[in-house]
Structure 1
Amino acid sequence: MPPIWLEKYGFGERSGFMRILHTSDWHLGHSLYGRKRYEEFESFLNWLAKLLTQEEIDVLLVAGDIFDNTAPSNRSQELYYRFLCQAAASCCRYVVITGGNHDSPSFLNAPRDLLRYLQVYVVANIEENPDDEVLVLQNQAGEAGLIVCAVPYLRDRDIRGVEIGESVEDKERKLVEGIRAHYALVVDRAQEIRAGMEKPVPIIAMGHLFASGGTTVKGDGVRDLYVGSLAHVGADVFPAAIDYLALGHLHTAQKIGRQENYRYSGAPLPMGFGEAGQEKQVVKVEFADGRTRVTYIPVPVFRALYSIHGDWEQIAAELARLKAEQAEAWLEVVYEGTEIISDLREKLDEIVAGTGLEILRSWNNRLWEQDKQLMGEGEVLSELDVREVFERCLQAHGIEEGERKELLKLFQEVVDALDTEDLMAE
């Protein structure tokens, strides 16, 4: 007897439908303020491999930005290929991977013929033949169960012709038109294939782009995709025949406008402190009887991030709370008090010493505001003499006149000594 949820939602027997898991923006190799995050990535991929079996996933979709850069480290590659082997050994029948703007098309594509033996399909860049971006995937009964339009990140040069004298508005219009035309071409081909089948199957499209109305947060590392233009595309760009749109690029999980079946899965790990405390997710999609069921599955927190803002009392209280909880986390501390604390970092390090807390970034807004006041209108720091900068700092901190003269004298001695060392080195 099938599970109750199958009967409740009318999904029928297990062999007659397909479960899809949508994820994106892994950014393997990403570091945060100089700290490598390989252990977090490994924990996520191990969790994801187990989830494929727990949820009886048939198809895994990874919508771009597999790696954080175009020349991934050996460790990043090891994590990637180990996971693909884990996925191939699970109940998951297919893995479909498309390239993102961070990925190297040549690198992703290099092993794709070999990976097909593991039922891993890679489309890293736009294909000359649209058939190469259209995949017909079989269900457990050996029948066509799904059509995937595996559209990668569409690069400017692939979709837009250049004309002399065109305006920024012309460029953006042509970019959007190029994206629209490519999706129309690929989805039309999918519909032609579906029309020749005995019974209709769902069409899923993938993409890596910035949809209009999409949400980002400060410091999440999301790059503009096209020079001189954000090229945000509206939901109307995508053909109505798409039953589910699996997008990557934005790191916050969200739907596009009011379209429940047009989704960003978001990045599985927070890419910056702006995402601290944000629940990360992957998306499970099921089709049956002409209906689509979309479910978010939370991703565990593999390393906690906290962003602490406030005056000194607020910051100290929050650090005390985390210490009492014996928390292990990376921290960002932003001081917003009115009192000048010139040794903020030293005070913070003293509090967290011997704990599982590590401060990756501290920012003193009070000193920053004072530093800005040192600069006159139109002045550039690099154009000021070092003695003049030091003198302004003494003045801004209210150093007494007599003490200021002594400090200036000592400062000049240090500068002279450094200049002498530079001359001797030459």
Structure 2
Amino acid sequence: MKILHTSDWHLGHHLYGRRRYEEFRRFLAWLVDLIRDEGVEALIIAGDVFDSSIPGNPAQKLYYDFLRDVSASGSPCRHVVVIAGNHDSPAFLDAPAGLLSGMNIHVTGRARSPEEETFLLCGASGEPELVVSAVPFLRDRDLYRAADGDSMDERDRLMAEGMKEHYLRAAQEAERLRAGHPVPLLATGHLFAAGGVISGDDGVRDLRVGSLGQVDAGVFPAAFDYVALGHLHSAQRVHGEERLRYTGSPLPMGFDEVCRGHEVRILETQGDGIVSRGVSVPVFQRLERVEGDIAEIESRLDELSASGESVWVEALYTGSSMIADLRRRVEEHASGAVEVLRIRNARFLPEGMDADPEQDDLEELGVEAVFERRLQEAFPDAEPDDPALKELRATFREAAAAALFDEEDASCAS
């Protein structure tokens, strides 16, 4: 059986105000072709399908059009497994799950019992071929019940124990479903496995307030032959283990991700084992960071403009001289299909701003992340499940959804 592992699509993501729907459309069309060319029979999407819990109409259309195409007559793909990531709304993904299950599209938005999360995937003749434990992003409330006065260390311990128990029960259910058949076991996860690598503007949100949220790789029982992971945007193994894999995001979510390479993975079952190989994702929109003094930036922009290729640029000025008209000079050298999306001056800090390299740029945070940080500042001692916070979040999402749909409808009308 051939399986394709991908994750972190972030449909609906904007890059410094630039819409990326055409990039996503081309990626998904390429993925459909790859599935057909490779004869992929099962697709695993390991979370963060959408960039927001309230995706706009164009992002939703991309998702459902893809599911239609990959499940169409003539496609070799008989099964699709989708889990929610921390960016996704579990309720939103789960809403059409009953309908999609009739197309052999298995969706796990919210955490469920091992019996509800585990699927036996069969071949065209009905023979068992693979068992999948479709574990979504697990929130604190899915793993433990905090008590008043618990320290952060105690909560971290309870979280780790709850995570380990969840995957242990998932492995036991997978073994039960296998029922002696020589087929491999695969699990999914959307989390930050300790040993995973991030850097720069990875775009990875903290999974848990007040903690790094890292999970020891030991939570995954050895019974699983492959763990299809999502959340980190760089393709990588965890602690060098071939069976613990992140594919990373197929499109760079920021300029720091451009040079990492982006891939999906083709898995093949061999008896009761799994082997995998990476397939590089083509570049659908070139991004480039142009860095140096003003002469170096102008020279590189001239080269890019002369190429005629569509390039989105981040210009980072690192020269020692004060350039009063930096933006004008940079933009004068960006012509044709070259667009400068962001200009940063490494030597300039507005008065009163601390020179903190860890400080987040509001441009790089989504509206939900900004709202959550404001909640933390206003209610530092509140529990995550506090009813007042839930009500505030619900009101915020209603307002944000209304604004987003207004924006998308205006865009479609134009």
TM-score, length-scaled by structure 2:
0.83
Offset, 1:88: 0.3
Q: Which amino acid counterpart does residue 339 of structure 2 have in structure 1?
A: E
Q: Residue 362 in 1 paired to residue 343 in 2? A: yes
Q: Helix, strand or coil: the match of 1:362?
A: strand
String of CA shifts for 1:122-142, please: whole Å, max 9, x gaps.
Answer: 000111x32111100012342
Check 1:375–1:184 CA distance in 2 against 1; reply closer, same or farther (3 A cut).
closer
Q: Helix, strand or coil: the match of 1:295?
A: strand
The match for 2:68 among 64, 69, 85 is 85
Check 1:139–1:228 CA distance in 2 against 1; reply closer, same or farther (3 A cut).
same
Check 1:310–1:77 CA distance in 2 against 1; reply closer, same or farther (3 A cut).
same
Contact 1:277 1:306 in 2 (8 A): no
Check 1:219–1:375 CA distance in 2 against 1; reply closer, same or farther (3 A cut).
closer
**Equivalent residue, structure 2, for 1:178:** 162
Once residues 117 and 373 of structure 1 are traced to their aligned partners in structure 2, the CA distance between those partners, rounded to angstroms, is 58
Q: Helix, strand or coil: the match of 2:193?
A: coil
Gap regions ≥5 residues in structure 1? 1-17, 377-426
Contact 1:342 1:367 in 2 (8 A): no
Offset, 1:183: 0.3
**Equivalent residue, structure 2, for 1:220:** 202
Once residues 122 and 100 of structure 2 are traced to their aligned partners in structure 1, the CA distance between those partners, rounded to angstroms, is 18
Q: Residue 74 in 1 paired to residue 45 in 2? A: no
Q: Helix, strand or coil: the match of 2:88?
A: coil
Q: Which amino acid counterpart does residue 96 of structure 1 have in structure 2?
A: V
Once residues 284 and 177 of structure 2 are traced to their aligned partners in structure 1, the CA distance between those partners, rounded to angstroms, is 42
Once residues 46 and 132 of structure 2 are traced to their aligned partners in structure 1, the CA distance between those partners, rounded to angstroms, is 12
Contact 2:108 2:135 in 1 (8 A): yes
Q: Which amino acid counterpart does residue 49 of structure 1 have in structure 2?
A: V
**Equivalent residue, structure 2, for 1:122:** 107
Q: Would you say how many aligned residue pairs link Structure 1 and Structure 2?
A: 353
Q: Helix, strand or coil: the match of 1:166?
A: coil
Offset, 1:235: 1.4
Offset, 1:373: 8.4
**Equivalent residue, structure 2, for 1:110:** 95
Check 1:36–1:375 CA distance in 2 against 1; reply closer, same or farther (3 A cut).
closer
1:141-220 alignment, distance < 5 Å: 141-194=125-178, 196-197=179-180, 199-220=181-202
TM-score, length-scaled by structure 1:
0.81
Q: Runs in 1 of length 4+ with deviation above 3 angstroms?
A: 371-376
Q: Helix, strand or coil: the match of 2:264?
A: strand
Contact 2:6 2:45 in 1 (8 A): yes
Offset, 1:366: 2.3
**Equivalent residue, structure 2, for 1:398:** none
Check 1:206–1:316 CA distance in 2 against 1; reply closer, same or farther (3 A cut).
same
Q: Helix, strand or coil: the match of 1:118?
A: coil
RMSD: 1.5
Once residues 338 and 303 of structure 2 are traced to their aligned partners in structure 1, the CA distance between those partners, rounded to angstroms, is 11
Q: Helix, strand or coil: the match of 2:22?
A: helix
Once residues 123 and 105 of structure 2 are traced to their aligned partners in structure 1, the CA distance between those partners, rounded to angstroms, is 15
Give the fraction of aligned pairs with identical amino acids, expressed as a percent: 45
String of CA shifts for 1:76-97, please: whole Å, max 9, x gaps.
Answer: 1111000000010111010000
Q: Residue 27 in 1 paired to residue 46 in 2? A: no
Once residues 353 and 177 of structure 2 are traced to their aligned partners in structure 1, the CA distance between those partners, rounded to angstroms, is 68
Gap regions ≥5 residues in structure 2? 356-414
Check 1:216–1:375 CA distance in 2 against 1; reply closer, same or farther (3 A cut).
closer
Offset, 1:375: 8.5
Q: Which amino acid counterpart does residue 367 of structure 1 have in structure 2?
A: F
Tell me which structure has the larger Cα radius of gyration: 1
**Equivalent residue, structure 1, for 2:47:** 64
Q: Helix, strand or coil: the match of 1:96?
A: strand
Q: Which amino acid counterpart does residue 231 of structure 1 have in structure 2?
A: G
**Equivalent residue, structure 2, for 1:54:** 37
**Equivalent residue, structure 2, for 1:327:** 309
Q: Residue 100 in 1 paired to residue 82 in 2? A: no
Once residues 192 and 316 of structure 1 are traced to their aligned partners in structure 2, the CA distance between those partners, rounded to angstroms, is 64
Q: Helix, strand or coil: the match of 1:316?
A: helix
**Equivalent residue, structure 1, for 2:327:** 345
**Equivalent residue, structure 2, for 1:251:** 233
